[in-house]
Copies of this chain bind each other. A is one copy, B any other.
C-alpha cells in the first residue's frame, strides 16, 4: 500500500496538485461498485461500503462510519493514514486543518456529487487553498492492473413482478418534470434507470444493476446511454419506440445538446461533471432529487405482494438454517454456517443471487457491524457465545434482508438484558403509528430509547429502504439519527434493525423488513400510517428476558411468533417443524 500511495503522490505532483480526494463511488454515484471502481480499496486496503480518503503530499487520512470502526483499523496501515470517524471527525475539518495555505486539492468530477463538492470547496478555502477538478483521475493513471469495466447482459424485468409498464412509469415521471419546471431529467442512478425501464443487469455483485446513463424527457421518451454489447436482441421489443439506445460515449455530447432546455438533475446523486457540462452548455438547471427515486420507493400492490412472497420463502430458508444450527452448533465455523444458509436459500424459487455477502459472525466477530468472514477471520461458534447472521437474497419478486442473533448454549444475564432492550426498540418501531408526513428520522429514537435508558446505543442507522429485486439499500427514505426530510409513504419497504455491539465480546441485531401501510384507527383525526412486518423468522427466545417486556411488548412477540409458525409450517421440511413449534412458543 505504501508504493501505491507514493505513486499517487508522484502523479499528483506531476499534475500540479497538492492533494486528492478519493471517495468510495463511481460515476453513477452508486453504493455498489464494480471492481473497476474500487479505488479506495485499491489505494488504502479498506473494503467497507462507505468511506473516503484524502491524500496530501505529507499526510493522508481515511474516513468511515461506525459500522466499520473495527474493520478499518484491521485493513488500513495507520503509519500511512490517519483513521477518522466520518461524521464525528468529518473530512472537511481534516482538510481545513491540513491542506497547506495555497494548496490545490484535486477531485475527479465524475466521482463526486455537486453537493459533496460544496463541502470540499468550503474546506479547501477555509485552509486558504482551492478545490480543483483534475483533468484525468491521477489514481487511475497509476492503477496499473485496474480491472475492466463490467459488461454483464441486461434483460427485461417482467410486468408480473414490476406491476407497472415502463411506458406508464416514463409517462408518469416525465409528467412530473413539467410540474417542476423541467423539460428533461438526467438520470444517472443505476437503480432508477433499471426501475424506469423495467430492466435488470449484473454489473455489480449482489444487485441486478445495469450501469448506464439516461435522459428522460417530459413526454416520456428516453435516451439510454449503455454499452450496446450488454443488450440482447429482445431488448428493442421490450423497450419500444420511445426509448432510444445510444452508446455510453454519446452521453457527454448529449449533455451539451441540452443547452436550450430546462434540465432537472439531482445535486445529491449525480456527478458534478453533469452539472458542469449542463452549465457550460447554457441549460437552465433545475436542482431537484432524482424524479424516479420516490415513485420507485413506493411499491405498488404487485411489488408488495411479491415482497411478502419473497420474504415467506426467504424466512423458510432461514428457519431451516436456524433449526439446523440449533442441532449443529457449537463447533461449526462461521463460513460453514454461511454456506449452509446459502444452500437453503438456493433451493428457493425465483432466487437470482444473495442480496449481499452474508454477515456470519460469532462472539467478538458479531460486534463488527459489517463483518465479512474470511478464512483468516473465521472462527468456530462456541458455547456461551452469540452468533449474528445478517443475510438476504435477490428474488425476482423481491429483495430480502434479515438479521437474527442466536445464543449458542446458555447466554449471560447481560446478553439477555441487551438483547431484550434491542427487541424492545424493534417492537417500538414495528408497532409505531404516525401521521402522514412523518419522516424516518422522527421515528429513530423510538428504536433506541430502551438502550438509552441503560446508557447504551448503536452506531448505525435503524432502517434503510429496500428495493424490489433491486438495491438492498435504497433511498430516499431512511430511519436514522441523520436528519432526513423525506416522509414515509405507503408502500415503502424499510428495514427495522436496532442492535447492540460490545467490542471484543458479542454483537446483537434484530432485523425485519417492514412495509409502510395505512392504519385505520377509530376516532383518528389524521391519516395514520404504520408498518406491516414482512420478514417471517423466529426471534431467539433464549435471549429474551420476559420481565423487561411490557404486557403489550410480550403480546407483540407472541403474535409475531404465532404468525411465523402458521406461515412457515407448510413451507419447511418435516425435521424443522418440531423445532419451529418450540422456537415460536408463546412466552405468556
Contacts and interface: CB of A to CB of B under 8 A. Distances in A.
Given A126-B181, A483-B483, A528-B452, A457 B435 contact: yes
Contact of A528 (B449, B455, B524): B455
A183 interface: no
A528 B456 CA distance: 9
A481 interface: yes
Contacts of A550: 550
Nearest to A520: B455
A452 B488 CA distance: 15
A486 to B, nearest CB: 11
Interface in A510-561: 521-526, 528, 550
Nearest to A126: B181
A324 interface: no
A432 interface: yes
- Among A442, A452, A525, A550, the most chain B Cβ lie within 10 Å of the Cβ of A452
A454 interface: yes
A113 interface: no
A261 to B, nearest CB: 15
A399 B299 CA distance: 50
Contact of A444 (B181, B442, B449): B442
A446 interface: yes
Name the prevailing secondary structure of the A interface residues: loop
Nearest to A96: B181
A449 B435 contact: no
Contacts of A457: 435, 525-526
A433 interface: yes
Contacts of A481: 438, 442
A262 B153 CA distance: 56
B485 A454 contact: no
Count of this chain's copies in the oligomeric assembly? 2
Contacts of A442: 441, 444-445, 481
Given A435-B452, A454-B523, 18 more contacts: A126-B181, A432-B449, A434-B452, A435-B457, A441-B441, A441-B483, A442-B481, A445-B445, A445-B446, A446-B446, A446-B449, A452-B528, A455-B521, A455-B522, A455-B524, A455-B525, A455-B526, A550-B550
A517 to B, nearest CB: 14
A588 interface: no
A180 B1 CA distance: 35
A453 interface: yes
Classify chain A: how many residues form its interface, as a range. Answer: 20 to 34
A189 interface: no
A443 interface: yes
B445 A443 contact: yes
Nearest to A480: B442
A94 to B, nearest CB: 15
A453 B435 CA distance: 10
A119 to B, nearest CB: 13
A433 B453 CA distance: 6
Contacts of A449: 428, 432, 446
Interface string A444-471: 1110010011111100000000000000
Contacts of A528: 452, 455
Given A457-B525, A485-B483, A433 B452 contact: yes
A6 B1 CA distance: 74
